[in-house]
Amino acid sequence: MSAGVLFITAGLFALVFGFVVGLLFSKRKASTDQNQPDGKEALEALSRAREEAQELLRKAQEEAREIRLAAEREAEKVVKLAQEEADRLRSALKEEAEKIRQETERKRKEVEEYLAERKQEVQKLEQALQQKESHLERRVQMLDRREEELYRREKEVREAERQLDQTQRSLQTKFKELEEKEKEIESLRQKEELELQRIASMTLEEAKAELFRRVEEQARLESIRLMKRIEEEAREKAEFEAKKIVATAVQRLSSEIAINYTTTAVELPNNEFKGRIIGREGRNIRTFELLTGVDLIIDDTPDIVTISSFDPMRRELAKDALERLIQDGRIHPARIEEVVAEVKKEMDEKIRKMGEETCMELGLYDINPGLYYYIGKLYYRTSYSQNVLLHSKEVAYIAGMLAEELGMDAKMARRAGLLHDVGKAVSHELGGSHTDIGIELCKRYGEPDPVLNAIRAHHNEEPVRYPEVALVCAADALSAARPGARRETLEAYLKRLEKLEEIVKSFKGVQNAYAVQAGREVRVIVNPEEVSDEESYLLSKNIARKIEEEMQFPGQIKVVVIRETRHVEYAK
């Protein structure tokens, strides 16, 4: 199509070019003829020029027409060739696309077939694996059963061997006992013969004195055996009843466990508050530590400030004040003084309310309100890391329940248990023994005599005068000896064990002593040549009594006296 347009444009250009050339030629001819004198000739020349121009124009038109026709024919040929080429390319592309589609379809079918085959293989492998797993599981179960059977048989064999060994040892022991009895009988027979010979030469008075001496010695041994048997029976019965009562009381108590450490962490909204807490040149942190009496530790821990102090009350006050300052956002010395003063005032009211709630919880409605503050303050005191208020409540509950089990005054037992350590609320401020301070406080607020007796008696400063006070002392020991209730330093622990062993070793006839079970039991090894069986019984009582007199300890210490006689002979 573009070639035809080109031919038509060329024809038109040729036509215009011929027309212009004709005009120029006619003008030149006219200008040449103007120089001639005859006008008729000029007209004729002009007419001939026109005719020639028209002839040229006609020929140019004909040539342009021919060129246009040729261009149209050529354009048609080009269009036809282009259409044929397009049809050929279209058909070739269709064939190529069909081939690609067929190839793709064939590949897809091959992939699907391959995947189907792999899936079948995987299913077969899974089935085989499941079968193997089930087989292995059955084998494992069978092996477990066989192992249990072997273990049971081995246990039976070991038990049979043990019984056989015991039987052999018992037979050997019996043989040895028989040999010893024979030797003893022989020695007694010889002694009797000698004694008879001696008695035969005695007077009547000497014989009576000897007889009295023997009867007295035999009666003393028999009385020791009888006393031991009666004491063991009474101890077993009393221990059974005491365990039942204590277990019943303790099971009814669901105690709260609280351990106060020396640090408290306060969370910050972001690390920018650390700089604000420190203040310019440390003014804010110095003011805060001076007013609260704590150490404020600001380290690299993100969004955390640590309050350090051995006084739980100071830590609590500092924690509340710091949280208020952080929430308020205004942190400067004047604001710190204001907030700390507010928190101190509120904390006093909180402590008094805590003491009142504790008394109401225990049903002690007639306690003087002046004691509420001191009772609540016990929450911020610790004894060997045990919270004193929770310890006092625990002692009150246990003593009250023991009193209920034994038919005593449960309310008085709870009252004495709650107030037995009340002096610890201010002993660190006033100095002196917490028992003396507790006595003074309770006398000031009109507490009855059993409470005063419990304050002194639970540290053995005076004897127990009321049965409820004895229950308070027992409950105090139970609460302190409960696992996890108290902690003591390693040095104090080692010193206590060393002192316990030294007390035991001070007795005559003791070869060695070992404190075991964290000091709850002491095992005493005695010399069998110096201490008899009856004397070892008396020795255990004397050791226990001396430990009670010279040591202070929670709970009880079991004294085990071991007397062992060994007879060694060598076969040559």
Is pLDDT of 1 > 60? no
Q: What is the mean pLDDT of residues 517-542?
A: 82
Structure tokens at 327: 């929430």
Structure tokens at 545: 């009594």
Report whether 562 contacts 504 (CB < 8 A). no
Yes or no: domain 490-563 corresponds to CATH 3.40.50.970:
no
35 — alpha (psi -120 to 50), left (phi > 0) or beta?
Answer: alpha
Q: What's the pLDDT at 198?
A: 65
Distance CA 289, CA 317 (A): 11
Is pLDDT of 485 > 60? no
The identity of residue 214, as a single letter, is R
Token look-up 């005191």 returns 381
| Nearest-10 crossing angle of helices 467-481, 410-419 | 50
Q: What's the pLDDT at 244?
A: 61
Report whether 422 contacts 379 (CB < 8 A). no
Domains in the chain: boundaries = 2-163, 168-233, 252-341, 362-487, 490-563
Give the CA radius of gyration of the chain: 60
Q: What is the mean pLDDT of residues 260-278?
A: 78
Residue 440: φ, ψ to 5°:
-65, -45
Which is more confidently placed, 522 or 4? Answer: 522
Q: What's the pLDDT at 21?
A: 57
Structure tokens at 355: 């003491």
Structure tokens at 416: 């004495």
Q: What's the pLDDT at 259?
A: 46
Which is more confidently placed, 35 or 281? Answer: 281
- For residue 56, the number of C-alpha atoms closer than 13 Å in the C-beta half-sphere is 19
Q: What is the mean pLDDT of residues 513-537?
A: 80
Is pLDDT of 67 > 50? yes
Q: What's the pLDDT at 449?
A: 92
Q: What is the chain's mean pLDDT, rounded?
A: 79
Question: Please, which pLDDT band fits residue 257 given cuts at 50, 70 and 90?
Answer: very low
Q: What is the mean pLDDT of residues 158-184?
A: 80
For residue 265, the tally of other CB atoms under 10 A from its CB is 11
Percent of the chain scored above 70 by pLDDT? 81
For residue 169, the tally of other CB atoms under 10 A from its CB is 10
Q: What is the mean pLDDT of residues 481-504?
A: 67
Superfamily of domain 362-487: Hypothetical protein af1432 (1.10.3210.10)
Q: What is the mean pLDDT of residues 509-532?
A: 81
Closest of 490, 527, 525, 479 to residue 504, by C-alpha: 525
Q: What's the pLDDT at 24?
A: 59
- Size of the chain in residues: 572
Is pLDDT of 471 > 60? yes
| pLDDT single digits (tens) 195-244 | 666 666 666 677 677 777 777 777 777 777 777 777 777 777 766 666 66
Q: What's the pLDDT at 133?
A: 84
Q: Which fold has domain 252-341?
A: Ribosomal Protein S8; Chain: A, domain 1 (3.30.1370)
Torsion of CA 15, 16, 17, 21, to 10 degrees: 100
Q: What is the mean pLDDT of residues 68-86?
A: 86
Which is more confidently placed, 485 or 347? Answer: 347
Is pLDDT of 37 > 50? no
| pLDDT single digits (tens) 335-385 | 889 998 998 888 888 889 999 998 998 888 888 888 898 899 888 887 766
| pLDDT single digits (tens) 8-23 | 565 556 555 655 555 5
Q: What's the pLDDT at 493?
A: 63
